[in-house]
Each structure stands twice: as C-alpha cells, then as structure tokens.
C-alpha cells in the first residue's frame, strides 16, 4: 500500500473515531439535560417509540401498507392520525411516503432494497447509537406498530402483511375504508367496522375472531385455526361458509358444511373458508354494539 494511502486511511479512522466520540458525548449530555436527540423516544418501559404524526409531517394519506416480519399490529381510532413504531431499529426497515401512501417494510427482499435506495434519507449516525448502546436489550424486545386513525381523515385502503405476529383492528368508524390482512402465524381480532367497508383476512396458522355489526363484506380464509364471529342480527345476514376439516356451529347448533344462505334485507355478507378448524357464528350482544 502506498504511503499516501496509509496516511489517508489513518486520518479517516481518526476522524471516524472522533465523530463517534462526539456522538456518544452528545448522547450522554442530552440524557442529562432531558433533550431528545433521537427520532425515537425511550419509554419508561425501555421500549423505543418513533412517532409518525400525519399532521406534523403534513401527510395526506389515503393508503397505509405494512409489510412486516415479526411484529404485533394494533389499529385504533384516535383524535388525530399517527403511527407508533415500537422497537424498530434504525436502518432495519424502510419507510416510504408517495402517492398518498405510507408504507413500512422491515422484510429483506429486492423490492424493499430498491425502495430503500429510492426513499432513503440519512438522518445522522447518532440515530444508530440509540440501538448500539443497548443492542442486546433491544433485540429481546418485541416489535409493535400502533396505528391511530382519525375517522375524518381520507383513509381508503389499509393493507397489513405479517409473517409472525398478531393483528388487532379495534372499533373503527373510518368511512369507506377497506382492510386487507395477511398473517403467516398469529391471531387476528377485528372489532366493529363501519358499514360500506370490506375486510379481507387470510391466516395460515392462527385464529380469527370478529365482531360483525355493519361491515359490508367480510372474506376470511384460515389454514389451521378457527374463525369465530359475533354477528348483529345474524339470522338476517348472508353467509357462505365452509369448514373443510371441521364443523360449523351456527347460533349454538351444528349445521352441515358447506352452508350458504342469502337474505334480501341483509346488510352484511360473510364468506369464510377454514381448512383445518371450526367456524362459530354467534349473536352480537347489544351491549357490545358501537355507535
């Protein structure tokens, strides 16, 4: 190696070491003075939480797309729309905002790499130090995404794909929003969804439970697991049910599979196919109804 190259290498190492030392000093100083140095805040529980506030970032979001490996997802109504990324390590996920779409992807594939190259934004080496300082502890913490949606916002499509983890949709009154949930291994729980919305759920291994009040259409496919639904006025709704290797329990009585029925006054249609498990339909109690 040429002397000039050696000198350049040594200088580069010195500059890098000095930069890291300055970052660590700034981190300690910020903690002492209560100043937020990182995009993610550290909660009292030790979890790191990064917040994406639609209003603060001036985001007009009509579609949310989450593509996740091992993660829990919770969706609720809120007085404002924002997303919390819990224990998401900087540089280990891709976030994109384009064409009124917010996308978050923590899987490693060609599409996510290309997306990172297109949407990457370097926000300083200090962002990585938050995880470096306690990487062992962070690795043991479960990742979670909490989504809060203001019903007045213009959300139209919500897509969630999780390899391993549970998905919970709370009681949502977002008008005309459609939901598509795909889970490899994990349970899906759906609260009361507003009318004129459709919900599509596909689970390889896990249980699906839903409170069906006024959702226009629900399509459910389960590989190994059960599908249970509490339905408002169940005797007046449309059904197309098939438990390939299991049973169908309808309002306390077992009925043959497959089962199909239609009603002219139906407000809800439920299509469910379970390959290895049972389908249970019960009446939604009035106390559980949501305005």
Same-domain status, 194 and 171: yes
Same-domain status, 121 and 263: yes
- CA angle, residues 118, 129, 49, in degrees to nearest 5: 75
pTM flag (> 0.75): yes
Same-domain status, 30 and 79: no
Same-domain status, 212 and 156: yes
Same-domain status, 190 and 93: yes
Q: Is the pLDDT of residue 287 over 70?
A: no
Q: Which helix (H) or strand (E) holds 237?
A: none
Same-domain status, 154 and 127: yes
- Please give the residue that has the higher pLDDT: either 197 or 129: 197
| Whether 163 contacts 69, CB under 8 Å | yes
Same-domain status, 19 and 126: no
Q: What is the token pair recorded at 273?
A: 């196919």
Same-domain status, 223 and 168: yes
Which sign, positive or negative, has the C-alpha torsion 136, 137, 142, 144? negative
Query: Which of the four pLDDT bands, split at 50, 70 and 90, describes residue 10?
Result: low
Q: How far is it, in rounded angstroms, from Cα 167 to Cα 145?
A: 10
Q: How far is it, in rounded angstroms, from Cα 54 to Cα 78?
A: 12
Q: What is the pLDDT of residues 105-138, one digit of tens each?
A: 998 654 545 554 454 444 444 444 544 444 445 5
Number of folded domains in the chain? 2
Query: Which of the four pLDDT bands, split at 50, 70 and 90, describes residue 41?
Result: low
Same-domain status, 135 and 67: yes
Q: What is the pLDDT of residues 47-89, one digit of tens each?
A: 899 999 998 888 889 999 999 999 999 999 999 999 999 999 8
| Whether 153 contacts 172, CB under 8 Å | no
Which range of residues forms the domain containing residue 55? 41-288
């Amino acid at each position: 190696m040429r002397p000039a190259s050696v000198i350049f290498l040594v200088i580069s190492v010195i500059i890098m070491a000095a930069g890291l030392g300055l970052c660590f000093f700034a981190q300690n100083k910020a903690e002492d003075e209560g100043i937020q140095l990182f995009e993610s805040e550290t909660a009292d529980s030790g979890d790191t939480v990064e917040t994406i506030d639609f209003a603060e970032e001036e985001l007009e979001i009509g579609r949310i797309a989450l593509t996740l490996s091992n993660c829990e997802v919770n969706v609720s109504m809120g007085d404002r729309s924002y997303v919390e990324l819990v224990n998401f390590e900087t540089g280990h996920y891709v976030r994109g905002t384009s064409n009124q779409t917010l996308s978050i992807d923590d899987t490693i594939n060609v599409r996510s790499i290309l997306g990172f190259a297109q949407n990457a934004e370097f926000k300083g080496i200090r962002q990585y130090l938050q995880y470096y300082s306690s990487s062992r502890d962070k690795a043991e913490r479960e990742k979670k995404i909490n989504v809060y949606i203001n019903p007045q916002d213009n959300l139209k499509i919500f897509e969630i794909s999780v390899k391993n983890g549970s998905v919970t949709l709370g009681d949502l009154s977002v008008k005309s929003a459609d939901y598509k949930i795909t889970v490899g291994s994990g349970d899906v729980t759906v609260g009361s969804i507003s009318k004129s919305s459709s919900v599509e759920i596909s689970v390889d291994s896990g249980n699906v439970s839903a409170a069906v009040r006024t959702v226009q259409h629900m399509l459910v496919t389960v590989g190994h697991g059960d599908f249970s639904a509490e339905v408002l006025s169940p005797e007046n709704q449309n059904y197309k049910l098939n438990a390939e290797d299991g049973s169908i329990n309808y309002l306390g009585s077992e009925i043959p599979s497959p089962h199909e029925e239609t009603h002219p006054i139906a407000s809800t249609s439920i299509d469910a196919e379970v390959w290895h498990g049972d389908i249970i339909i019960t009446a939604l109690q009035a106390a559980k109804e949501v305005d």
